[in-house]
Amino acid sequence: MKYDESNPWKNALTQLRNTAEIIDLDKNIQKILEKPAKTLITSFPVNMDDESIEVFEGYRVQHNATRGPCKGGIRYAPDVNLDEVKALASWMTYKTAIVNIPYGGAKGGVVVDPRKISVNELKRVTRRYTYSVIGMIGPERDIPAPDFNTTPEIMGWIMDTYSMIRGHTELSIVTGKSLELGGSLGRLEATGRGVHIVMEEALKQQKQSSKNATIAIQGFGNVGSNFAQIAHQNGGKIIAVTDAHSGCYNPEGLNIPEILDYVTKNPNRTVEGYPNAEIISNKELFTLDVDILAPCATQNQITRENADKIEAKLIVEGANGPTTPLADSILNEKGIVILPDILANAGGVTVSYFEWVQGLQYFFWDENQVNEALKKILVGAFAEVNQMKEKYNTRDFRTAAMALAVHRVARAIQLRGIFP
C-alpha cells in the first residue's frame, strides 16, 4: 500500500517508530506512546446571527500526561481533523520533554473558518466549545493556548467561560492571553523568538552568523512575522515572505518593518497587494537559493514532491510538522540541515509555561526576565540535542531531538509505573 504522507498522524507515528528502533525503546513504552491517552470528539450547536442554528465539530486530544498537565493549542480551521489534532498533541508531548518543562502534550481544534463568521458568532463558538471540553481542561489537568487562527482575545473568552462555570477567576486555565487578563510579557513573540535563538545556535555551531544571511519565510502569521522582525533586527536579509494569499520577493532584501505595518493596516491581514516587491508564490519560495528557509505555516509543506527542489542550506521549522518523513530522507541525502519543529518552535510553549507559573503565583515577571529565561532553556535544549547526536551517531537533528524527548517520557513512565 502506498504510504500517505499527507496524514500527519501517520507521519508522527513514523517518526516515533524510527526513533524507537534507533534508541532500542522498550516495546511496551512504544505501545503507550502510539496511542493518545484521551480523545474527545464533540458536536455542539451555536445560535447564528441570522437566528439559524449551526452544529460545529470540535476535538481535544491528550496524548500523554506522564510528565505533568497536558499543554497544547487550539486551532480553528475548516479542514482541521482528528488525525491532525492527534499528531499535534504527540509533537507537544515531545516538545515539552525536549525543553524539560513539566507538561504532557495535548491539542484541540474546531472545524470553522473564523473569517467567514461574525465576531459574536466566533465568541459563541468558542464558549460552546469550551463548555464541551470543560471536563478535560483545567490548570492542573490540561491548559489550552492559541494556535492557528486563534488569538489572545479567544483565549480570554475561554478563560471567562471556564471561570464563570467554576465560580472564580482562573488565570491559569489558558496561556497566550492578553496582558490585561494575566498574560505574560514576551508570550506573543515567544515562538518566533525561539526559532531565531535555535537558528543562531545552529549557525554558531557551523561557525557562521545570521548577519547578512539570506532568509525565506513561508507563513507570515504570529510565528513567521515575529521571526522575520527579530531576524531583520539582527542583520538577517529576508528576501521572501509568503502567506495563505500572496507573497513578496526582493533579492536585495525586504523592508520588514514596512511590510509589518502594511499587514497591520490591511483589513485582510495579508501581504497581498504590498507594492514595493515582486509577487512570489509558496511554490516558488521553496525553490529559492537562500541560506535559510523557515516554514512557519502549517504541516506537510515540504514533501517528496518538492524536497528535491529545495536549495536552502538550513531549514528551521517554525510550523508544526512542516516536513514529512519522506521529505526528511531526501533533504538529509542532500546534506541540508533541518532544525525540527519540536526543538525550533518550542519557544511558545516555554513562555506559556512561564505564563502558567505566573498565573498560579499571581506574581508577574518583566520582559527581560522572560526573554533571558527563554534563551537559557532553548540554548540548553540545543546542547542536549547535540549530545544525543553524538550518542547515537546520527547526522540529523530530528532523530536526536526525538531521541532526547522519547528518553525523557519513557523514563517518566518507567518511574511512575502502570496503574493499578
In a domain, 175, yes or no: no
pLDDT digits (tens, 9 = 90+) for 140-153: 999 999 999 999 99
pLDDT digits (tens, 9 = 90+) for 225-278: 999 999 999 999 999 999 989 999 999 999 999 999 999 999 888 999 999 999
Q: Which domain holds residue 228?
A: 189-344
Please report the pLDDT score of residue 267 as a whole number: 86
Amino acid letter at 358? Q
**Which of 86, 95, 107, 123 is flagged as catalytic?**
107
Q: Indicate if 164 and 245 belong to the same structural domain.
A: no
Number of domains in the chain: 2
pLDDT digits (tens, 9 = 90+) for 171-222: 999 999 999 999 999 999 999 999 999 999 999 999 999 998 999 999 999 9
In a domain, 178, yes or no: no
Select from 170, 200, 225 the last residue of a domain.
Answer: 170
Select from 310, 325, 344 the last residue of a domain.
Answer: 344
pLDDT digits (tens, 9 = 90+) for 115-135: 999 999 999 999 999 999 999
Q: CA dist 401 to 62, 132, 133, 216, 395, Å? A: 21, 35, 31, 24, 12
Domain CATH code at residue 219 = 3.40.50.720
Please report the pLDDT score of residue 38 as a whole number: 98
Asked whether the predicted pLDDT for residue 420 surpasses 90, the reply is yes
In a domain, 332, yes or no: yes
Place of cell 502502570: 418
Please report the pLDDT score of residue 314 as a whole number: 98
**What letter does residue 302 receive in the DSSP assignment?**
B
In a domain, 112, yes or no: yes
pLDDT band at 3 (very low <50, low <70, confident <90, very high): low
pLDDT digits (tens, 9 = 90+) for 270-314: 999 999 999 999 999 999 999 999 999 999 999 999 999 999 999
The grid coordinates of residue 402 equal: 526525538
Strand-strand pairing, 70-77 and 104-111: parallel
Q: Indicate if 204 and 160 belong to the same structural domain.
A: no
Please report the pLDDT score of residue 2 as a whole number: 56
The SS3 of residue 290 is coil
pLDDT digits (tens, 9 = 90+) for 319-350: 999 999 999 999 999 999 999 999 999 999 99
In a domain, 377, yes or no: no
Q: Indicate if 119 and 248 belong to the same structural domain.
A: no
Span 79-93, mean pLDDT?
98
Cβ-Cβ contacts under 8 Å for 175 (sequence gap 6 or more): 143, 144, 145, 155, 183, 184, 187, 352, 353, 355, 356, 359
The SS3 of residue 106 is strand
Please report the pLDDT score of residue 268 as a whole number: 82
Q: Of all residues in the chain, what percent are helix, strand and coil, respectively (each to 5)?
A: 50, 15, 35
Please report the pLDDT score of residue 323 as a whole number: 97
Q: 107 an active-site residue?
A: yes
In a domain, 54, yes or no: yes
In a domain, 366, yes or no: no
Q: Indicate if 164 and 234 belong to the same structural domain.
A: no
The mean pLDDT of the chain is 96
**What letter does residue 405 receive in the DSSP assignment?**
H
**Phi-psi region at 382: left, alpha or beta (left = phi > 0; alpha = psi -120 to 50):** alpha
Q: Distance between CA 167 and CA 169 in Å, rounded?
A: 7
pLDDT band at 395 (very low <50, low <70, confident <90, very high): confident
Q: Indicate if 75 and 133 belong to the same structural domain.
A: yes
Amino acid letter at 104? G
In a domain, 201, yes or no: yes
Select from 141, 170, 199 the last residue of a domain.
Answer: 170
Asked whether the predicted pLDDT for residue 1 surpasses 50, the reply is no
Q: Indicate if 270 and 139 belong to the same structural domain.
A: no
Domain CATH code at residue 137 = 3.40.50.10860
Q: Indicate if 156 and 223 belong to the same structural domain.
A: no
Q: Distance between CA 307 and CA 298 in Å, rounded?
A: 16
Q: Indicate if 198 and 302 belong to the same structural domain.
A: yes
Q: Indicate if 204 and 334 belong to the same structural domain.
A: yes
Q: Indicate if 276 and 148 belong to the same structural domain.
A: no
Q: Indicate if 153 and 214 belong to the same structural domain.
A: no
CB 195 within 8 A of CB 375: no
Q: Indicate if 199 and 321 belong to the same structural domain.
A: yes
